[in-house]
Amino acid sequence: MSKVIAMIPARMGSKRIKNKNLRLLDNKPLIAYAIEAAIASKVFDEIYINSESDIFKEIADKYNIKFYKRPEYLALDDATNDHFTLDFMNNVEGDKLIQILATSPFITPEQIIEFTQDALHCDTLISLSKVKIESLYNGKPINFNQKEITPPSQLLEPVYAYACSLMSWSYDNYKLNMKKYGAGYHGGDGNIQFYQLSGYATVDIDEEDDFKLAEAITQIKSKTPQYYKSGDVYDADRDRVLLEDGVFNNTMLEYNKEVANIPTIIESNPSDEAWSHTVVNSKSTCATLIAQMAGEGNRLHYHNNWDEWWHIIQGEWEWYVDGRTLNVKKGDLVFIERGKRHKITAIGDQQSIRLAVSREDVDHIYEID
């Protein structure tokens, strides 16, 4: 039975993005995504990080995988994939090598499983991305005729490019090609096959703009699709939302102090009318004190992509949540999941105050009959 080894190359000397394999993407080092996908696939006998730097040994130890320290000369700018891969094969026993690039953070365990299964039936397996668009090479058309009407894109012959996110070689065949041609990366002699990647898995981070794209993808991947509904009103303007809810005395520019004293803020505002005071406003969080009198509150609404919570500072409130009514008081914490319709009304015989924790740009969606 073949011994299948995963190798994740990671050198420190990246010129276009400094230390890119260690740079945080959604609070994790970039290389962590490849490691976690490889572990989750459960198809490897051993998983290695291949690097000249001991900092990657720390990461390997954290994930309980192995570390191969390549020679320094194989981490220089003129070092080739062919040679550092041969060096690895000469020092790490195996039959089949699967290379997973740390710069491709959106490779899934399922894709690794399918790729590895295919790799067992050939000498070299190369991942590709498919593009269906008019393409040129050296200024000449590849898949279209400049003297003919442009066909619909779905009828164009696809063009394939190396994705390189996943590569595979049989040890014996690779070594033979290196001995014969001085190169083995592209397969040389032997059975060469191709594996098509699609979607986010084709993203490979080489430039700063690639990293920014990856950061955007990590944000949108977790979002639920939103669809326009006829008659609904979408409002992400926090100031306007408060004004429409009858809160006219709004302090919105005194936020993000290192220490904010809530009782002092409350004492500095009127006790017989509605007001708000934003205490935190960052990329991830917006926290606002909202005071209202009995009978006052907000309008029935929901949020598509945001869970919201409140801490009751003073008084009593009535929460309508998808057909149910909750009565809450000072000291309670209320949590409402995204998508749930809710309406808040102050009750009792005194001013009620809640600390609303959300995000500044969250859509309030109002259903209009």
- The CATH homologous superfamily of the domain defined by 4-220: Spore Coat Polysaccharide Biosynthesis Protein SpsA; Chain A (3.90.550.10)
Q: Are 166 and 112 in contact, with CB atoms under 8 Å apart?
A: yes
pLDDT at 219: 80
pLDDT at 231: 64
Residue 274 has pLDDT above 90, yes or no: yes
pLDDT at 226: 62
pLDDT at 304: 84
Confidence of residue 113 (pLDDT cuts 50, 70, 90): very high
Residue 315 has pLDDT above 70, yes or no: yes
Q: Span 14-34, mean pLDDT?
A: 87
Residue 230 has pLDDT above 80, yes or no: no
The dihedral region occupied by 259, where left means phi > 0, alpha psi between -120 and 50, and beta the remainder, is beta
Q: Span 53-58, mean pLDDT?
A: 95
Residue 344 has pLDDT above 90, yes or no: yes
The bridge status of strand 4-9 relative to strand 96-100 is parallel
Residue 150 has pLDDT above 90, yes or no: no
Edge-to-edge order in the sheet of strand 66-69? 66-69, 46-51, 4-9, 96-100, 159-170, 124-131, 192-197
Instruction: Give whole-number Cα distances, 36 to 8, 29, 163, 205, in Å.
Output: 11, 11, 20, 18
Mean pLDDT is highest, among 128-132, 302-306, 347-351, for: 347-351
CA atoms of 293 and 351, how far apart (whole Å): 5
Q: Is the dihedral of CA 298, 300, 305, 311 positive or negative?
A: positive
pLDDT at 305: 81
Q: Is the dihedral of CA 41, 44, 50, 54 positive or negative?
A: positive
Across 53-62, 187-196, 359-368, least confident range:
359-368
The bridge status of strand 249-251 relative to strand 233-235 is unpaired
pLDDT at 313: 97
CATH node for 233-366: 2.60.120.10
Confidence of residue 345 (pLDDT cuts 50, 70, 90): very high
Residue 362 has pLDDT above 80, yes or no: yes
Q: Residue ranges per domain, the chain?
A: 4-220, 233-366
pLDDT at 77: 82
Task: Dig out the tokens for 295 from the structure.
Answer: 């009978």
Residue 206 has pLDDT above 90, yes or no: no
pLDDT at 157: 86
What is the percent of the chain with per-residue pLDDT over 90, rounded to a whole number?
A: 69
At residue 63, the 3 state secondary structure works out as helix
Q: Span 21-42, mean pLDDT?
A: 94
pLDDT at 155: 82
pLDDT at 228: 64
Residue 321 has pLDDT above 70, yes or no: yes
User: Rounded mean pLDDT of the chain?
Assistant: 91
Let me know if the fold of 4-220 is the same as that of 233-366. no
Confidence of residue 283 (pLDDT cuts 50, 70, 90): confident
Confidence of residue 222 (pLDDT cuts 50, 70, 90): low
